Amino acid sequence: MVNVFEYTDYREYLKAYFEDRKKTDGKFSHRWLARRLDLSTSNFIMLVMQGKRNLNAGLCLKISEVFKHSVKETAYFENMVHFEQAKSPKEKALYFSRMADFRKNFKIDRIEDRQYEYYTNWYNPVIREIIINPALNGSPETISKLLQPAITPTQVKRSIELLLKLGLIKKQNNRFIQTSSLISTGPEVNSVAVVNFHRAMGNLAVEALDRIPKEERNITASTIYISVSTFETLKKKIEDFRKELLAMADSDKQGERVYQINFQVFPVSKAYKSKEL
Show me where the domains of the chain are located: 4-106
Residue 185 pLDDT level (bands cut at 50, 70, 90): very low
Beta-carbon contacts of residue 179 (< 8 Å; ≥ 6 apart): 167, 168, 169, 170
Burial of 143-170, coded b for 16+ CB within 10 Å and e otherwise, reads bbebbbeebeeebbbbbbebbeebebbe
Cα 223 to Cα 30, 59, 219: the distances in Å are 55, 48, 14
pLDDT per position as a tens digit, 190-247: 566 777 788 888 989 999 999 999 999 999 999 999 999 999 999 999 989 988 988 8
Q: What angle do CA 152, 157, 159 make, to 5 degrees?
A: 95
Could you tell me the fold of the domain covering 4-106? Answer: 434 Repressor (Amino-terminal Domain) (1.10.260)
Residue 182 pLDDT level (bands cut at 50, 70, 90): very low
Q: What angle do CA 175, 178, 183 make, to 5 degrees?
A: 140
Cα–Cα distance measured from residue 105 to residue 183, given in angstroms and rounded to the nearest whole number: 24
Secondary structure E strands in 95-199: 169-172, 175-178
Report pLDDT for 184.
44
pLDDT per position as a tens digit, 20-31: 999 999 899 999
Please tell me whether the overall predicted TM-score, pTM, comes out greater than 0.75 for this model: no
Cα–Cα distance measured from residue 80 to residue 217, given in angstroms and rounded to the nearest whole number: 42
Cα–Cα distance measured from residue 214 to residue 161, given in angstroms and rounded to the nearest whole number: 34
